[in-house]
Each structure stands twice: as C-alpha cells, then as structure tokens.
Structure 1
C-alpha cells in the first residue's frame, strides 16, 4: 500500500484512472470471490470522489498520506451514503447510524471508500458468501471475510475489519495477507455495530507490514511516530536491540493442528538461525478457564447489544447467531462481572510472566491450520482467543503454506499500548522470514 499511496501522491497514478481500474477488477474478479457487498452506481460514486480529490489537492506537495487510496470497509462500520446491513437480512435503515470515526480518519487522510466488504452476520459466526482467493472452495475466515479477501485478491491495498476474538488475525492468515489488530480501544469504535464491547477492536488488512504501519499511524489514537522503527538496524549477529521472542507453553498451542505446529516450529527454527532468541515460557496453564471467561463475557454482551433488534427481528437472524444470543440471554450479570474481574487478574499474571522471562514479543500460529474446506464455517478463532481476551495488540504475518498450498500465518503479540514497537519489531521478523524463505 505504501508504494501505491506514494504513486498517487506524486501524480504517477491518476485517481480517476485508479478508480476505473478498480471498478473493472471488481466486475471481473468479485463475482468469483464475493468480497464486496454489491453496490449499484459504485463507479459513478468513486469517479466523483476522485475528481473532487484532484480538485481539492492540485498541489502534489500538499496531498495527504492516503490520497486516492481505495479502502474496503467491513459492513458493520457506518459510512455516510452506504447502507449498513451487518451481513444480515434486517430491513434497510434499521441498523443506520452516524459515520464511524475510523472512516472520518481515512477520509481526512485522502482515502476513497471502495465499498462495503462482506461480513459474517453481525461480525459473529454465520458465514457470508465470500470465498478464499487462493482456494475458492475454502473459507476466507471470518468475520472480516470480505476485507481479507479483497486485499488478498488485489482489489484494494487496504481494508478495515473488526476483531472480537479472531476476526482479523485468522482471516489474514487464511488469505495470506498481513492483519493488524491494535491494542483494545486504540482505534475508536464509535460508529461500529457492537458485538461484545469488552473485546470489539478495529483492525486493518494490507499486503505487507509497511502498509499496516502507515494505516496504524493514521487511525490509532496518540500514535508515537518513530517508535515503529524499533529494530530497523538489527542484522545477522548484531543482536543489540533485537527482540526476545516468547512461545507460550502449556495446552494453548495444543489447539493447533499437527501440521500447523510443525510449520510453526520450522518458523521458530528459522528465526533462531538468524540469531534471534526464542524462549518457551509457561503462560496459560488454565486455558480452558480463560476460554470459559471469554465466552461468558462475549455471549452476555452479544445478547445485550442485540436486545432491541432481536426482540423486533429475531426471526430474520441466522441460526448460528440466534444460538449465541440465546446462550447470552442465559448468562447472569454477576457471572459476567466475575469473568471481567478474573480477566484483570490474568492481565497482571501475564504481564508479570512476560517481564520475568524478558520477553518482548509472544509468537504463536495465527490459526489452527490452513483455511478449512467449504463455506459453512469461518474456522476456529482459538489461537487469537487469549490475546483478544487480554486486549493485546497482534499482527499476523504470512508464514508458509500447507502441503495443499493454503497460506499459514505467524501471530506476533506485543504489550498493551505498545503497538508502535510491535509493528517495528514485527518488521524485523518479516524481513528475516523473507530472507530465509
């Protein structure tokens, strides 16, 4: 994305021609993968937007960072002029609301909204029609399926998704792109349909980490410019400043498939051969209890978020979403409160274990394996579960493929609030993996 943005700002790409090319791609490619929500008049809307940008910024030197860059927006995020359906069958207008802050920031940076991208119903588990661009018979992951697929198919260089448990990291891995989920609350969620507000986090998909860093600097609150360059000077045996990598011991990693674990171990070996330190640290001995806590909070809040809509339109909800809401309706408020308190204690324990082990980044598979075959499921979010529960920032880097050619991802997790350092240090890992491929 960084290169495309630079070309648009410099004038070597014209925004109107860029729009024409995109719309032609959508006409040819999207009927095969269904990344975008259909939009009558898309070309006319985008052409008008491109002309307005060119008129507003005739001087190349004054053009904003994302001048003319086309961005896909997950269909749980409100955009003025485009309806929000949330992947559901609810009547038009029921879900309407003010434009999201994240969209305001993108437009202020010069971006053009390419359109709404397909989501699982209400960013939960009922899949949309999107297919994996690498293997159309396999899921792209969810719930940010359309956003991940749109970037993987080369339709847009940047797309916005949301993650409650695993809805950025997992589809990024399945689709072979970079997915960045910042620290919980770092990007305001105002103007986004809620799922479980204690977890809901906006994130982005890009083709490489440089694009994610550019987007993060524009979208995250209080970005500390410069800190994302951590580790840039490290190479080979020059270990000063290189991050110490932690691998969680215990039953957590056992949730991944054997082939995915073998690939993960091979990735760790490549990093160690490059001179990086990898430490295996017991971290989640009570993983089943962590899972129970998250599900208690998640289901309770999903039911509460949909209380009004579900009371009026429950018959239009998909069976998977209905089942989750029904479970949430049976969760007592005091049980949610107890789970939230337990989460605070877990945060303290993990922070203490991280400091004691001298770990800078935690590593894990981004998903349990390659994208499952079929479109009846969005896959298992369990590899993201503890990190989402804790609200920690994470990025998924492409990291090899299965024997069937399905992409795999390396999940890199940083400290709360340390998004800048996470992206800088992850760039080092991205470089090492590229050099040792």
Structure 2
C-alpha cells in the first residue's frame, strides 16, 4: 500500500501558528510525490513543480510574517482536478482536445482557496471531461485497482499523502465514490453551494464542486471557505440516523451492504439511535431520468467543441454525447423539473421518518480490479439528482480494500452534516473487515 493521508485540520493550525514552515512542508510533499507518483499517477506532470512551489511558499511566508494575520489555509498545498481552470495553467480535462479549446478564466473555487492562503500543488488527473474514459491513476491502497472516477487523481493524491486537500466534482458519483475507494473523506455539498464558474461543465443541473481530505474537520475548514453563506453549526444533540432500505440498497453488493450494517452497529454501540428507512422504491426511474438529463446536458455543454474537435473525443464520451442529442427538449425540461421535485421528496421522507441523516453505501462495494473501469456511481446517483449534501467517511474493509459510509442530509443542511460527521466518522473508524456472508 502507498497510502499516507495527512489530516488537513491539524496541519492548517500548525502552519498558521508558525509551528510548520510552508517551504519545508513543500519539500516534504515534493519528496512524497517523487517517491510515489510514478506508481500512483495522481498528478498531471509539471516540470519544475518543486522549484515553483518553494518560490510561492517563500513569497507567502514573507507576505504573512505575522501569524496573527495568516489566512485559514496559509501554506496548504491543494490538488486541483484538471477540469478546473487555474490562471497560468492549461486545462486538459483528460482529453486529446487542444487545450486552447478548453482553457478559460480561473475557477471561482480555486480563487477562493488561493485567497485563503492555499498553494496550488498542481493539476490532478481526471477521466475525460469527467465522464468514464479512465485516467492513468491507480488506487494507492492496491495499485491493481481503480481509485474511482472521475476525480481519480484528486482522491488518490490525498490518499497517497501528496496533498492534504484536493478539489473534485460530482455529476453522478465522482467525489463520494473515489473517496470511498481510496479510504478518505469526500464531501459533496448542496447543489450550487460552491460556485461552478470556471469548471468545464458536464451537466448544469447536476454538476457539484466537492472536496477530498483525510479528516471531516478538514472538510469543514475547506467548506467554510468554498461554500456560499457558510455559518458554522453547533452539533448539539446527536442526530437520529436512518439506514436506507429497499430497491436502492439492493443495488449494492453484499460487501457494500455489510459495510453499512457494520457502521450502523458501531454507531448504535456508540449511543446513536439508528432506524430503518424504506424509500426510493422507484429508483430505476430515478436512475433513468438522471442518465437522460446528464447525457442531454453533456451534449449541450460540448456542442461547439464537439462540432470542431469531435475526432479528438474518446469513443466513450462521443457515444454519450450522441445519446444526449437524442433527448428531446420536452424530455429535458421535464427531467429538470423532476429533479427539483425529487429534492423536496427526499427532504419530506427524511422528516416523515423522524431522522436527521440517512446512511447508505458510498459505492456498491470496494474498488474493482483494474483501471479500465472506474466503478459504478449508482449508490450516489439519487443524492446527486436531488442536489442534497453528502459525506463519505471510511468504514471497514472488504477484500482488504476500503469501504465508505455515505451520510446524506436534507438540502441546505451542509453545516450540520459536517458538524455531526466528525463524531460519526470517529464512531466507525475502528470497523474492520466486514462479513458479507459469502
């Protein structure tokens, strides 16, 4: 295993207090990259990365020589999924399309992190245009397995200890699934809570900006900078938790279901009230609607680019664009309206069940073998379709690979989700190998 995830929160505190030097920290991370990234392939290659980062770290330290003035991410290196535009860098988006046809103005999310004192570690590999054509990245837990996608490089970089924070995006399951496969924390906020400007679009209705960290506290720190209107929540009383049951859960493998059961047992032992919540009986219709919606919006997002550079698109992405072109205008309008109605329906069901948070598998099971398939995002799809906030934390292992526990809150309750998520993560941290009954 090449995993060595570093929690963001204590590192950020130490950097701001002057207990860690940004330039010395850059050397540590650059050494780690030199040691493992030939195998993991999380980062888009950048000649002179160490020299550039040392120069930027030294300038930052000079600008903020007084610890009292240091911003919240002072000196923190951040990996950036290569669909986010960064000034001075080409955007490749995992594609053979010429960068000049992709690169635009800098991402708002990136700018917020840089303004908060972060250092741009570099671009991380992504599947082509955040769809399924795989990146070269491998899972640091076992190089023979996928790290997931589409935010492959961001998840692997954090898991392998190359950076403590990375940006990703999710249109179906591209933050929560790779975080689970790599054994780290993934956070997808409520829809549009983090601005999407400056990110290569897939689906305007379903795209979410998210983060990867090794700790929930670090995810909360990043969210407080990235999310619009962030107001820290007092965790207060423990939440009532609901394990989702029904046809949705049947989509998971025995290992995926066993992981949730093991997590639920650990939480009950820790004093949480855990209930069973039957919902999503029409999951097939939800899945089909989301597939049509995202395919249609991908076709719209890339219409001009595909018309000019269609031969540079992979067959996988071109096929989805072709499917999307076949979705009628009325169908698309109906799908968008249905997604908004589904958000309300999820919130209503949570309230009816008397729970605060829902629990489910973060992926059907552990990471599949090979890197030609990034795994199935089916367990994330309904929560992305609804645009509700989701968090995954490590919870057990199957076949000696990590499993994730997906925690979902009602729309807009991102602060409460992360406030409660810290204790939930701690309660399931010691779940070991799960028994899937095989």
Are 1:102 and 2:75 counterparts? no
Q: What is residue 406 of structure 1 aligned with on the other side?
A: 401
Alpha carbons of 1:354 and 1:42: their partners in 2 closer, same or farther (altered >3 Å)? same
Are 1:286 and 2:318 counterparts? no
Q: What is residue 378 of structure 1 aligned with on the other side?
A: 374
C-alpha distance in 1 between matches for 2:400 and 2:113: 34
* 1:204 CA drift (Å): 0.5
* 1:13 CA drift (Å): 1.6
Out of 340, 346, 350, the residue aligned to residue 350 of structure 1 is 346
C-alpha distance in 1 between matches for 2:231 and 2:268: 30
Out of 239, 242, 246, the residue aligned to residue 250 of structure 1 is 246
Number of residue pairs the alignment of both structures matches: 425
Q: What is residue 57 of structure 2 aligned with on the other side?
A: 50
Q: What is residue 415 of structure 2 aligned with on the other side?
A: 420
C-alpha distance in 2 between matches for 1:20 and 1:150: 16
Q: Any idea what SS the aligned residue of 1:214 has?
A: helix
* 1:347 CA drift (Å): 2.5
Q: What is residue 60 of structure 1 aligned with on the other side?
A: 67
Q: What is residue 369 of structure 1 aligned with on the other side?
A: 365
Are 1:14 and 2:21 counterparts? yes
Q: What is residue 203 of structure 2 aligned with on the other side?
A: 196
Q: Is the 8 A contact 2:346 2:410 kept in 1?
A: no
- How high is the TM-score relative to the length of structure 1? 0.95
Are 1:230 and 2:215 counterparts? no
Task: Give per-residue Cα distances to partners, 1:176-229, cap 9 Å, x unaligned.
Answer: 00000000100001000000110111000001111101101111000002x0x4
C-alpha distance in 1 between matches for 2:12 and 2:321: 42
Are 1:165 and 2:172 counterparts? yes
Out of 263, 269, 279, the residue aligned to residue 265 of structure 2 is 269
Out of 161, 185, 194, the residue aligned to residue 154 of structure 1 is 161
Q: Any idea what SS the aligned residue of 2:364 has?
A: coil
Q: Is the 8 A contact 2:97 2:309 kept in 1?
A: yes
C-alpha distance in 2 between matches for 1:347 and 1:109: 32
Task: Give per-residue Cα distances to partners, 1:46-93, cap 9 Å, x unaligned.
Answer: 122112101111111111111110000000000011110001011132
Q: Unpaired runs of 5+ in structure 1?
A: 232-240
Q: What is residue 235 of structure 1 aligned with on the other side?
A: none
C-alpha distance in 1 between matches for 2:239 and 2:337: 31
Q: Unpaired runs of 5+ in structure 2?
A: 1-7, 433-438
Relative to structure 2, which stretch is displaced further, 278-287 or 137-146? 278-287
Alpha carbons of 1:314 and 1:431: their partners in 2 closer, same or farther (altered >3 Å)? same
Q: Any idea what SS the aligned residue of 1:51 has?
A: helix
Relative to structure 2, which stretch is displaced further, 29-38 or 423-432? 423-432
* 1:351 CA drift (Å): 2.0
Task: Give per-residue Cα distances to partners, 1:14-51, cap 9 Å, x unaligned.
Answer: 11121122222212211110000001221222122112
Q: What is residue 332 of structure 1 aligned with on the other side?
A: 328
Task: Give per-residue Cα distances to partners, 1:255-288, cap 9 Å, x unaligned.
Answer: 0001221222122112122221122122101111
Q: What is residue 236 of structure 1 aligned with on the other side?
A: none
C-alpha distance in 2 between matches for 1:350 and 1:124: 26
C-alpha distance in 2 between matches for 1:138 and 1:218: 33
* 1:436 CA drift (Å): 6.6
Q: Any idea what SS the aligned residue of 1:93 has?
A: helix
Are 1:183 and 2:190 counterparts? yes
Relative to structure 2, which stretch is displaced further, 272-281 or 409-418? 272-281
* 1:378 CA drift (Å): 0.6
